[in-house]
Amino acid sequence: MCAVLNISPKTYYKYRNKEDPDYYDYLTIKEIFDDSKGTYGYRRIVEGLLQKYGVVMNGKKVLRIMKKYNIIPNHYKNSKQK
C-alpha cells in the first residue's frame, strides 16, 4: 500500500487512525449550506452559524473548510435588467 501511495510506512501508520479535526465543523457548515439550497457563500454561512447555533466561527476557517470539502455555492444571475 505504501508503494502505491508513494509514502513511507512510518507516515502511513502515523495518520492511519487519525480523525480529521475539521469534520464536525464541516457537518454544521454543510447543514446550513444545504438549508440554503446551495446558495450561501462563506459570509452568509458565518451569519447562519451565529443565528442558528450561536457559534462564532472565523470566516477564513469557514472558507478553508468549504474549499477542503469542495462546497461550492450556486450563483444565480438576476433576470431583471434595467
Closest-CA residue to 65 (of 18, 14, 35, 20): 20
Ramachandran angles phi, psi of 10, nearest 5°: -60, -45
Q: Per-residue pLDDT tens, the chain, 82 aa: give them.
A: 778 888 888 888 888 888 888 899 999 999 999 998 889 899 999 999 999 999 899 999 999 999 999 999 887 777 666 5
As a whole number of angstroms, the distance between CA 11 and CA 16 comes to: 8
Check residue 7 and give its pLDDT.
87
For the entire predicted model, the pTM comes to: 0.74
Looking at residue 20, what is its pLDDT? 85
| pLDDT recorded at residue 74 | 85
